[in-house]
Structure formats: structure tokens, C-alpha cells
Structure 1
Amino acid sequence: MDENGDLIDPASTSAPDLQILGDEITLQPSGFVEQKTTSAEHEQALMNQFASFRAEPLQFLREVSLYVSGKGWRAYDRVIGQPVFYPGFSDHMKSMVMAAPLLQKRIAQLAESRVQVEEKEGLIDKAAEDHALRRAQRKSELEGALQEVAEKLTDDMICKMESKPFIRGAYYLCTQLLTRAYHQGIHVSSEEILRLRKVADMAAKKKQSIVFLPSHRSHVDYVSLQLICYRLGLTLPVVVAGDNLNIPALGSFLQHAGAMWIRRSFGDDALYGTLVQAYIDTMLQEGFNLECFIEGGRSRTGKLLPPKFGILSFVLDSILSGRVEDTIICPVSTQYDKVIETEGYVTELLGVPKKKENLADFLSSGSSVLSLKLGRVDVRFNKPWSLRMFLETQLSRLPKVPAGLSTNHHNPEVRATREKLLRILGYKVLGDINQVSVVMPTALIGTILLTLRGRGVGKDELIRRVEWLTTRVRAKGGRVAHFGNAPLSEIVDRGLEVLGKDLVGVVEGLPEPTYYAVDRFQLSFYRNMTIHLFIYEALVSAAMYMRVKMGGGPSMQDISHEELRDQVFFLSTLFRGEFIFGNEGLDANLDRTIKGLEADHVIHVHRDESGKVVKIGLSDEERNVGRENYDFYCFLIWPFIEASWLAAVSLMGLTPPSKEHEDTWIELNKAQNTAQLLGKTLYHQGDLSYFEAVNKETLRNSYLRFEQETMVHVVKSKDPKVPPRVQLDPSWRPPRDPETNALMAEGKLWDFTEQIAKSRREGKNRRDGATVSSRVLRLSDELGRALFEEAAGQDKVPSRLSAEERDTVRRARKAARSRGKLDARAML
């Protein structure tokens, strides 16, 4: 509010954007001011890309010559940070890694361990007079062999920033490709860039690294961040990349542009793990910037994934051990008008196996997007912060800090403390990313189209709802992409054009054009970009739906505060691995959400004489507008509720069909595939409202949640050829009819499924639980029986556990019981 108490529009007070397009950086004013200029006049500045050889051959050759000669900023000589891209860079880095005391100590330990084994096996005679000499010689041989292996692994792993002409050419090539696909360029906040440059300057003087932790939705993520750092004169970060991208030609190009290759899994390779740690230590000690993705892989759903702690654990050890004094963490959000890979994501989420990366596919997909008009990329940088100060603050809150926090990883107390630190760190970074994320016009349009009750929406109504959603996003502290002075109608047109007719259709020949969702599954990717802003309102609305769907008069649809709280607690616990919740606690967040919905006239609240909330119901104002705001929140969360309900129903099929199958274990991947097949069947038969509920990633998250709650047990074999196997805990298995052997609608799992169903969207075929207790339950059982028969009839994957595996499961169950309900707390 201003000094007069008036609400200030955040868009009018926030810093302007910078648009990076080809060689040009353009100031993009924030806010919205209606202008009378034609669209062509204020579109013109957005179209200044690199010259085309066919259209402007002389200008094209001039631009190429500027990069070849390194004119001005293109020279990349006066960077903020450590020097990179000079001859000998790779050899210098390699020598520092190989000389790391941590690596040399590990090589000595491995050689010593092997010598002891050879002594036990009699390969080195302990009784021989020259035993000590032979032992020392053998150890030296082993150390030399391990040194050679480490050198080869280091050479394959490290980035090779060797040549200025190469990186100038790579910048030109990547900018050409990116701005042809994303024709409106890359946008950043001027305020954030100035702050980042200042932090980078201070870090360079202290020889400290900046660790960029971006969100990950596309391969374009790391390209756009590299281009920004190059264009603004910051040292390019070394990008941690999976070795699945290290394919012929492309792999070498990326490695020389700043990629380091890392295995997806280390297994029991102690040397490789230590080598990665030594490389991370070296980069952080020397002050080189680093980039890794907090989510691990790319999000196929559009929303942030739970944090992965692989590389972060190495960075954590560097600081905790004292080998590195400090490093700077910089959370980064990257948003798109349209993500190139979404069509491929849909096929993966529907169960089509992911294809292995290869150059032919890369070239064909790259050439296919050059002529697309995908809008723009928005990159936002949260305020960087000290990792050392963060860790000191967290450790000071612990009642006891175990010894050997950075070394004794086998100590259960150390392991638990490290996991806690990593979890807090990971979710803080995700929260920081969400805080600065920009909601794109395509996300606004996708969200509106997927939260309609009707089949479609007129143009004027679509614009009105987009304007409403924009206001709600800003009211929740979110950001909406700046589009200068363009009117909202033009912004909506741009969004519709970028989404294209494959995602959004239009019915012509009506009094007004009517838009509808063509591919709801793919469009949900864009809807999921906004859900984090409204997750509290969505959960409260879904909990209220328990009463609302019963119908009757308004007073009959009111829900008591106690009943509302219990259902919100249940749902927030159900989704604690799916969404990022605040850390204020259930009651504080619930109270704030109720007050917010009341202030927005969505609900009315009954309070007793002391002011305590007693009952909650829909307000008269909300009913008068057709429940459009309340329904919006419900539509956001219903697909996820459907997916959790589907996963719970599929668990019933894991009930052993007979006593002889009591100890049978099912392949986890096959169980999840069967759950997806069950979902597709229920969708086409009308028992599932949302096809996106069969989303493989959401089902996988549900199974992980069930494992954490010990509803199911998952065992992972030491044999890499044996996939993870799953079994439904006996206490959660529904009983079978003694006469027909059919599953009965009783027991803990049935009650759990019914609790989820209370907040499901009502549909034609399920006015009560009758269809679930009969037809749906029967179908789940039939699919489950097929799994048990298949498991019993194959030899490659054992359906029974070894003695060691049984002992592992027994210990896991005991540990889960000792935790009690500590981990079952709601994250809302």
C-alpha cells in the first residue's frame, strides 16, 4: 500500500525486464499502459534477430565476422569470476584434481585393501623373506594402475574450456538456434541481474563459487543460463550433466562449452565417488561457478519435482569438511511460453519407454523447431545466499551435532543428520525458485481452460478470467510475465498462437469464437506451472467438497472446522511429496487460508462468541457467480486426487490371491504399469474423470508415498539385473470372501481409499461407493492376479526374497515402527 493506504499494483513497482535477443539487450517496461499504437509497431522491437543469410547476406557475414574477431563484449575477455577458455585449462584442472589429497588417500586405501585380499588368498606369501618388499611393490603397482584409471575417468568427466574462438562460435550458434525457436528471446529482471553481478564480483574477489540451482523443464534450461552469463560477462558455470547426453559429436561440443559428465548411478565404485568429490572440491576451492539441477531430471509435469541430493551432497561435504570455506547458492527459475519437449513428455507419462539419446534424433528434433514460434524464455534469479551461513544456522538448531558429519557416512546418526540438512536445503531452494517464478501467458490460458465447467469459453470471457487469474497470482505474491505496454487482449492472442491448434481449438461460426482444450493431458503441463500458488486454497476447497457435493440447502453444505481440518490434514499428508508447503505448520496455514478465502468472499465463516471458527461454507456471493472461484480451486487439485485414488485402488490388486502367494514379491515397475492400465480402463468406462490421472510420474510419487507410510514395502537387490520388487504390507491387505475368494470392500486400505474419494469430483457413474466396491475392485483384483501368476512363472526375477533381503525388509519395518507417526505429519 502507498502512504494513502491504496493497494499498489506489483507490476507497476517491480523492476523492468531486460530482453536478450541476438546481439540486442532491450529494456522492457513493466506494468500495463494502454496505447493506441498498432500491434505491428510494438511487435517490431521483438523481431530483431540475427540476420538471415538468404534475406541479408551482407549483414549476416558482418555479424559472423564480429564473433570471429571477438569485437567488444564478444571477446569474452573481461569476465567477472575466474579465468576460463584458455589453452591448457583442461590439463591444469586435471592436474589439480589428481593431486587432491582426498583422491590420493582413496587410491592408497583401495590399493591397501586389495593387497590384504591377495595376502589372504595366498597370492602374496607372508612367510617369504622378502614379503615386505613384494608387498610394497605390489601396492605400488596397484596404486599406479588406479592412478591411470582415475586419470582416464577425470579426462572423460571434466569440462574442457579451452578456446575463446570456440566459445564465441558456440554462443553465436546457440543464440541463432534459440532465437529462431523462441522468437521473442530471453527475458531477465534488470534488478536481479545487477544484484547477481554485484554478488559475482564479491565472490570473485574472495575466490568463491556461485552454485546455480535452476528448475529443470527443458534442455534449453542450461543453454539459456549459459547465454545469459556469456552476454553479461560472468564466468560460465560448469554444468553437471548426465552422461546419457555424452553422445558422439554433441558430447564433445557440450564438454568444451562447459558440461561435466557424471554417471547416473555410482553403484559400489568407491574410486568414482571420490573422484567426483575431488572435482567438486577443486572447482569450489578455485572459485569456478557450478550449475546443477535441484530436481535431478527434467519435470515432465510442469511443476517442480521433489529435490534430488546427489551433487548437493558433494557440495555439502566440501563445506562441512572445511576443504572449502564457503560457496554462494543462487536459485534460478526458468519459464517458457512453450516447452519444446512437452509432446515427448506426454508419451513418456502415458507409458511409452524413454528413448536413448542419439545424435540423429537430436538433429532431426533441432531442425524441426527452428521454424517454430515458441514465444519467449523468462529466467529469474533469487537473491544468492551463503551456504556456510545456512549450514551454521541449521546445525545450531540441532540438540546435538554428531561427530564425523562429513566423513562417517555409515554412522546412522550422521546419515540422519545429513539427510535432514539436505532435505531442508533442497526444499529451501525449491521454495526460492517458486518465489521468483514468472507465470507465462500460456500458463494462464492453460489453467483457465482446464478449470472450466463447460466445454469451452468465449474470447471475452477468456480474457476476463485471465485478468482475474493474473490479479490472483499477484495477490498471492507471484509474478506475471511483463509484456511492456501490450494490452491484455493482445497478450492472450500471443499465448493462443504459441500454444497452437494442437493444444487449443476454436469453434468458428458462432456469435463469438469459442476456445476449448484439445489436448488436456499436454495442456496440464502449463496448468501445473501455477498450482503451487494456490495449493492451500485448493486443499481447503477439496476438503469442503465432502459436504458441497452432498447437495441440499446452503446450511446443509457447511462443514465443521474440525472435520475440515481433519480432511485437510489427510490431503496435505497425502501430497507432501507432490507439492512444496510452507513450514509454519498446519493450523497457522489453515487459519491464514480460511481468512484469505473469506476476504475474497468465496466462503463464509461462522464463529462462536470468542471468535473461534466453528463452521465454514460457501458464501452467497460465491453462489451468485456460479461458484466459479471455488470451482477453480477444486479443478486445480482434482486431477491429483484422482491419481492418488487410482494408486490406492491399484494397491488392492497386490493382495495375494491365495496362501501360496503370501510371500510373493512383484516387480515394482510392472505394478505401476498395471496401475496405469487400470486407470486407462476406468477412464474409458467413466469411473475416472481425468485422463491425466494415469500420469506415470504422479502414480510413481504415490507409490513412493505409500512406501514411506509402510503401506507397501520395496526391496532393491544388490544385483543390478534384478529390478526393485514390491509387496503390500499384510496389515493393509483387504480380506477375501471365504466362499468366492473375491476381494471385500473392508479393511484399512478400503477406508484409506474412501477417505481420498470423499474429495474426488462427483461423476455420473459413482454417486456412491457401489461401483468401486464391486466392478472397480473386481477389475483391480483381476489385473493383480495376472501379476502374481507372471511373477510365479518366471526365473529371471525371483519372486521370493533371499535371507539377506528378508533381513533388510525386517529392519526397515522395525525402523518405520520406531518412527511412529513423526514422519506422517502434514506438510501443509
Structure 2
Amino acid sequence: MFQTVEIPIWLVFLGGLTLTIAVLNRVLVPSVRWFFRARINRALRRVNERLQLSIKPFSLTKRQVLVDRLTYDPVVMSAVEAEARHRGIPNEVAAEEAARYAREIVPSFSAATYFLFGVKLSRWIAQKLYRVRLGANENASLEGIHADATVIFVMNHRSNFDYLLVTYLASERTSLSYAAGEWAQIWPLEQVAKAMGAFFIRRRSENPLYRKVLSRYVQMATEAGVTQAVFPEGGLSRDGKLRPAKLGLLSYILQGFDPAGTRDVVFIPVGLNYDRVLEDRILVGSELDEKGRPRFRAKVSTALWFFLRHLWMRIIGKWNRFGYASVSFGAPITLRSLSSDGRIGAEALGHKLIDAVGKVVPVLPVPLVAQVLLDSGTPLRRAQIVDRAMVLKDRLVDQGAHFHLPRGDFDYAVDVGLRALVRRKVLRETDEGYRLNPAQEPLLAYYANSIAHLPR
């Protein structure tokens, strides 16, 4: 019984390693986890104290809990049964599909990731690429929003850069839960987007079970007061014009809204505009397939060449930022105020929101100059462009448009627009004045269209 037993050294090492892991897992790891969780909770309380719109408990709930709540929601379970009957499959199979949709949709929001990483990265990238300016800002109206209201930012969709720009500029007010399309469902972008609170939607899916799961998530988040950000146009504008509203998400919000309930829904119109949209040529060059869906001629090699070329220009000191980027916030629109009984159709709501967003789209130097040259159709000298741009700007401002005047100097603003368009070979400077490059007319129209909807 007390004889010496020989054990291989590798077995001793393995046993020791197993014992060490067990001790760490049972004793040290919980303590370390508690320590960091306590620090995160203190930081979160400080963040919530300074935010105009606080982070709601729903956003901080563990993701698996939200997935389970959504999967076993009575409305979703009824849809599962209907789907199983329709397709002649077992309920368990349809239920697993619903669970898969729930896992795909539900975000895994991390306040630490959002404020310590996402906001700082968004600010750094935005300021490196653009001269970022805040346009019209309805601070007084925002401060008057009831603490129990669900706030939804509705924005025009000019670029995929919109996400970064609005995240940065809205970070002093709130965190935003974005509705993101399929384009973001690639590794590692998907994981980062979900940690930032984004929920994914399949915009073209006609699957009734998927639509029911998505609608219930939107309604649950809205009922819980989660601040959201949506693009009612449903996708990027390919010609620069403001597009009609898609009614999917809006109809889900309306279906779950109780006019007699304690929580109102408040829409904040947000207008975005750029002197240069990074993917403008891709958007203008897109075509529609046989089903009417856009097909973009985007290549990895093109993106890589774009990045390397601008990196080299930065190294040799010849790189310039892509002009101005501006965001304007409009006056809130409460859902209860839209009709006497608190009810309004999705189409009427979509039209009203798009109209409100359009009114706060900022006027920037490149769109202004582009509109002047497009209206003229003939070469113009600089003095003529300045005169016509001044007249156009005055008409727009008189109708309530917000114009960003760089350095407070209108002549300089026109020079900014002309220099950007000449550098990109959209305009040619000749003895007769500035002439449009015919091959680049669609690109000039793209920027002019960004303000074409504004009343004059």
C-alpha cells in the first residue's frame, strides 16, 4: 500500500496543469470577473449620468436571454405553428429556424465596446477623412423629450460612412442601435457591429416566419425604450436623390404602438451630406438586375488601390481630406401627435419622416457648386459661379435650409467646391471658364441631387 509508484513526468505535468486550471476557474477567475464587472458598471453609471438619453436595461440584458425571449414569444410561436402547417414540417424544425433567425437578429451590445472603442474609433476616422461639422441642432427640443419615450433617429442614407459619422456626433446624447443590412454580416465586421448594438435585417426576405421574428424584435426593443437609428430609404441612394421610405420597419413600429400606453415614440430627423462620398462612383455606376435589384461593380482590388494610393499621398505630404461632412438634427416628431387618436398609416408616416429628413439635409460647397454648373449647362467663369451660387444659397436659406459656410467666407466656400470637382476631373478649367467633363456628368448630378429636393 505504501510502495513507491512511478508516474511519467508528462502525466505529472498534465495533472498539475489540470489542477491549476481548476483552481483558477473556481477561485481566481470569478474574483477577477467580479472586479472587472464592478469597474464596467461604475463606468456605465457615469456614462448614463451624462447622456441625454440613457442606456435602457433591455440593451444590457444578456444576449442569450433576449434570444430566448424572442424565440419563445407567443406571437413567434404562433408563427412557427403556422409555418409548420404551411410547409408540412414538424414544429421542432420550424422552431429551430425561428431560433436561428433570432440569433442572427439580436445584437450583443457592450457599453464598453461602444463608448471605449466604437465612439473613439468613429471620431478618429471621421476627423481624419473629413472636416466634420454639426449643422442644425434642435437642442431645446431634444431636452424636452420625456425620459420614458422611445427615441428613433431617422436618417437619409448617403454612404456606409453614415454609421460612423452619426455614432460619433450622437455619442454625447445616447448610444444608437442601428438596423444594418446583409452587407455587414461578414467576419469580423458582424461581431463588431453586434457589440455596437446593431441588429441585422434581410431587406429582401419574403419569408413570413423571418419577418415575424424581426417584427417582434423591433417591437420588443421599441417597447423597452431602446434608442434606435434607421434609414427609412432602405438602402444607399444611387443617384444622390432622397428616396421614398420603405415601410417595413415603420410598419412594425406602428403595429406594436399603443396610443394609450405610457411610452410614446419620438422620431428625430437627421440629415447628412458630404462633399465627397467615398463610394460615389460605385453607386453611380450600379445597374439593376432582372429583378430590379441594384448590382454594384465593386472590386477588392479597386478598394485596395484606392487605399494604397491615398496612403502614399499621405506619406509624401500631398493628401487632403475629402472636404466637409455635416449632420443636422431636426425637431422631434412624436407618434401620438400625428393624429387625434394616435394612429397613422405606415405610408403617411414614411412620407412625413422623409419630408422632415429632407428639410435638414445640409448644403455643402460641392453640392452647391454642382447644382450651379448643372443648371447652367454652359462653361462659367469663377465670378459667374460665385454670383449664381450666392443667389441659390440665399434662396435655399430663405426657405429654411442650413448652409455650412467654411471659415465664414462665401468665396472660399465656392473655391472649396470648385477645387474638389477639378481635382476629381469632374470639371475642367479652360480659357472659357469651368467646363463640365461629359463623361463625369452623372457624378456631378449625383452631388447636385443631394440638395435638389430643397425648396427654393
> Are 1:373 and 1:498, in contact at CA under 8 Å, matched by a contact in 2?
no
> Are 2:158 and 2:236, in contact at CA under 8 Å, matched by a contact in 1?
yes
CA displacement 1:184-218 (0-9 Å, x = unmatched): 124233x414432442xx2xx32x31111101111
Aligned twin of 1:174: 122
2:74 to 93, 101, 118: 101
Cα distance in 1 for partners of 2:416, 2:441 equals 19
CA displacement 1:675-720 (0-9 Å, x = unmatched): xxxxxxxxxxxxxxxxxxxxxxxxxxxxxxxxxxxxxxxxxxxxxx
2:400 to 471, 474, 477: 477
Cα distance in 2 for partners of 1:315, 1:300 equals 27
Deviation of the 1:170 alpha carbon: 2.3
Aligned twin of 2:99: 151
Aligned twin of 1:516: 435
Aligned twin of 2:195: 256
1:493 to 404, 415, 434: 415
2:256 to 312, 318, 322: 318
What does residue range 79-478 of structure 1 map to in structure 2 within 5 Å?
Answer: 79=51, 80-83=53-56, 89-111=62-84, 113=85, 142-165=90-113, 167-182=115-130, 184-189=131-136, 191-199=137-145, 202=146, 205-206=147-148, 208-230=149-171, 232-234=172-174, 236-267=175-206, 269-319=207-257, 325-348=263-286, 354-355=295-296, 371-392=319-340, 421-454=345-378, 456-478=379-401
Alpha carbons of 1:266 and 1:441: their partners in 2 closer, same or farther (altered >3 Å)? same
Cα distance in 1 for partners of 2:41, 2:434 equals 49
Deviation of the 1:69 alpha carbon: 11
Tell me the SS of whatever aligns to 1:439: coil
Alpha carbons of 1:261 and 1:368: their partners in 2 closer, same or farther (altered >3 Å)? farther
Deviation of the 1:94 alpha carbon: 2.2
CA displacement 1:546-597 (0-9 Å, x = unmatched): xxxxxxxxxxxxxxxxxxxxxxxxxxxxxxxxxxxxxxxxxxxxxxxxxxxx
Deviation of the 1:376 alpha carbon: 1.9
> Are 1:446 and 1:524, in contact at CA under 8 Å, matched by a contact in 2?
yes
Deviation of the 1:149 alpha carbon: 2.8
> Are 1:380 and 1:437, in contact at CA under 8 Å, matched by a contact in 2?
yes
Alpha carbons of 1:73 and 1:442: their partners in 2 closer, same or farther (altered >3 Å)? farther
Letter in 1 for 2:321: K
Cα distance in 1 for partners of 2:336, 2:306 equals 42
> Are 2:180 and 2:198, in contact at CA under 8 Å, matched by a contact in 1?
yes
Alpha carbons of 1:98 and 1:220: their partners in 2 closer, same or farther (altered >3 Å)? same
Identity rate of aligned residues, in percent? 21
Deviation of the 1:365 alpha carbon: 5.4
Letter in 2 for 1:162: S
Cα distance in 1 for partners of 2:325, 2:331 equals 20
Cα distance in 2 for partners of 1:441, 1:293 equals 24
Bigger radius of gyration, 1 or 2?
1
Alpha carbons of 1:492 and 1:253: their partners in 2 closer, same or farther (altered >3 Å)? same
Deviation of the 1:350 alpha carbon: 9.5
Letter in 1 for 2:240: G
Cα distance in 1 for partners of 2:280, 2:198 equals 24
Letter in 2 for 1:427: H
Tell me which of the two structures has the higher relative contact order, counting C-alpha pairs closer than 8 angstroms and 6 or more residues apart. Answer: 2
Deviation of the 1:326 alpha carbon: 3.0
Cα distance in 1 for partners of 2:310, 2:342 equals 46
Cα distance in 2 for partners of 1:188, 1:173 equals 22
Letter in 2 for 1:90: R
Alpha carbons of 1:362 and 1:319: their partners in 2 closer, same or farther (altered >3 Å)? farther
Cα distance in 2 for partners of 1:367, 1:327 equals 45
Deviation of the 1:147 alpha carbon: 3.5
> Are 1:70 and 1:168, in contact at CA under 8 Å, matched by a contact in 2?
no
Cα distance in 2 for partners of 1:528, 1:91 equals 44
Cα distance in 2 for partners of 1:357, 1:256 equals 27
Alpha carbons of 1:218 and 1:368: their partners in 2 closer, same or farther (altered >3 Å)? farther
CA displacement 1:148-168 (0-9 Å, x = unmatched): 332222111112112504642
CA displacement 1:264-285 (0-9 Å, x = unmatched): 2232x33211111110111011
CA displacement 1:735-777 (0-9 Å, x = unmatched): xxxxxxxxxxxxxxxxxxxxxxxxxxxxxxxxxxxxxxxxxxx
Cα distance in 1 for partners of 2:226, 2:341 equals 25
> Are 1:217 and 1:298, in contact at CA under 8 Å, matched by a contact in 2?
yes
Cα distance in 2 for partners of 1:458, 1:356 equals 35
Deviation of the 1:390 alpha carbon: 1.7
Cα distance in 1 for partners of 2:300, 2:42 equals 33
Cα distance in 1 for partners of 2:233, 2:265 equals 20
What does residue range 710-749 of structure 1 map to in structure 2 within 5 Å?
Answer: none
**TM-score, structure 2 length as denominator?**
0.78
Letter in 1 for 2:196: A
Alpha carbons of 1:298 and 1:425: their partners in 2 closer, same or farther (altered >3 Å)? same
Letter in 2 for 1:153: Y
Tell me the SS of whatever aligns to 1:301: coil
Alpha carbons of 1:435 and 1:163: their partners in 2 closer, same or farther (altered >3 Å)? closer
Q: Structure 1 regions of 5+ residues with no counterpart?
A: 1-67, 119-141, 396-417, 536-828
> Are 1:335 and 1:437, in contact at CA under 8 Å, matched by a contact in 2?
yes
Tell me the SS of whatever aligns to 2:328: strand
Cα distance in 1 for partners of 2:265, 2:294 equals 39
Cα distance in 2 for partners of 1:265, 1:524 equals 28
Letter in 2 for 1:496: L
Cα distance in 2 for partners of 1:185, 1:145 equals 50
**TM-score, structure 1 length as denominator?**
0.45
Deviation of the 1:144 alpha carbon: 4.1
Aligned twin of 2:449: 528
Deviation of the 1:309 alpha carbon: 0.8
Letter in 2 for 1:244: W
Alpha carbons of 1:434 and 1:70: their partners in 2 closer, same or farther (altered >3 Å)? same
Deviation of the 1:302 alpha carbon: 1.4
Deviation of the 1:483 alpha carbon: 3.0
> Are 1:335 and 1:377, in contact at CA under 8 Å, matched by a contact in 2?
yes
Bigger shift: 345-354 or 149-158?
A: 345-354
Cα distance in 1 for partners of 2:305, 2:229 equals 27
Cα distance in 1 for partners of 2:143, 2:300 equals 36
Cα distance in 1 for partners of 2:79, 2:329 equals 38
CA displacement 1:613-664 (0-9 Å, x = unmatched): xxxxxxxxxxxxxxxxxxxxxxxxxxxxxxxxxxxxxxxxxxxxxxxxxxxx
Tell me the SS of whatever aligns to 1:448: helix
Cα distance in 2 for partners of 1:479, 1:364 equals 36
